[in-house]
Amino acid sequence: MLQLTSLSDIRQHTERLRQQGKRIGFVPTMGALHDGHLSLIRAANRQNDVTVCSVFVNPAQFNNADDYRLYPRLLGADAEMLEQAGCDVLFAPSPEEMYRHQAKLSFDFGELERVMEGAHRPGHFNGVALVVSKLFHLVKPHQAFFGQKDLQQFAIIRQLVQDLSFDLELVCFPIIREADGLAMSSRNRRLTPAQRAVAPKLYEALQIAQAKLQAAASVEEAKQAAVAFLASFPEMSLEYLEVVDARSLQPVPDLTAGQEVALCLAAFLGEVRLIDNLLLQPQANS
């Protein structure tokens, strides 16, 4: 596996690949890789000639200095995992290399970012859009792979690709979970054993809300049942739990036949903030 750190090297390398007629699959990450990331690498391998993975903890998308400082950085282990998963190129620039000039551009995704993550993490999606745009320009992929766990991020990137006419296909891959249901996340490494033990309750809460909706409860009743369930775990502090349209991400007051909705939440366990979501199959038109 080739490892590159400079913008000019990755730009030249992917340009050469394109000239050779190779299809490039791209998996952008912030490292501390887990099976969720590896499922994206394997999918990229299957559908492309060359797989490029970036590992870059992007300072521009952190609205909390401690979260940035404490974000796990494990480049050596990441490189080994990528090599074993069949990744061809690892691009791991330093923050100084990535942001040689102070970025002035700012993005506004309107309603899409006024809810959930965008509402609770000011500036977060601006930083995501900035770095993803830079990476797309550098790597020039044919396909780019993202995880469904960051559902709102995927919606923002879909909008970014449309608005800036990036010539690539976006692929959203299902959430990979631990055996006990906890959605895989690089932040899970920061949980204490006691926090780790209760963390799967987040997924259980989503399942409770899902079961209520499937049993024809109202959106409010479903949310209340999940919130009440989580309230019995004092280690956990729920930030939001929403039932939203799966594409626009706007809250839905009640389910409409044919509409695909997502149940989304964010919660703190101590200082560690976790998110999760569950897509609900559209109800048949009656």
Q: Which stretch binds ligand PAF (CB under 6 A): 8-16, 22-30, 167-175, 201-209?
A: 22-30
Contact set for ligand PAF, span 23-52 (CB under 6 A): 28-30
Per-position DSSP letters for 225-278, written without gaps between them: HHHHHHHT-TTEEEEEEEEEETTT--B-SS--TT--EEEEEEEEETTEEEEEEE
Among 132, 202, 205, 208, binds ligand PAF (CB under 6 A): 132
- Whether residue 243 contacts residue 234, with contact meaning beta carbons closer than 8 Å, is answered with no
Is 131 a binder of ligand PAF (CB under 6 A)? yes
Is 152 a binder of ligand PAF (CB under 6 A)? no
Minimum distance of ligand PAF from residue 282's CB (angstroms): 26
3-class SS of residue 109: coil
* Nearer to ligand PAF among residue 98 and residue 280 (C-beta): 98
Nearest CA among 238, 220, 222 for reference residue 230: 238
Q: Which stretch binds ligand PAF (CB under 6 A): 8-16, 100-108, 112-120, 124-132?
A: 124-132
What tokens does 197 get? 């033990």
Is 266 a binder of ligand PAF (CB under 6 A)? no
Minimum distance of ligand PAF from residue 27's CB (angstroms): 9
Q: Is residue 37 annotated as a catalytic residue, yes or no?
A: yes
Nearest CA among 39, 27, 42 for reference residue 143: 27
Q: What amino acid positions are annotated as catalytic residues?
A: 37
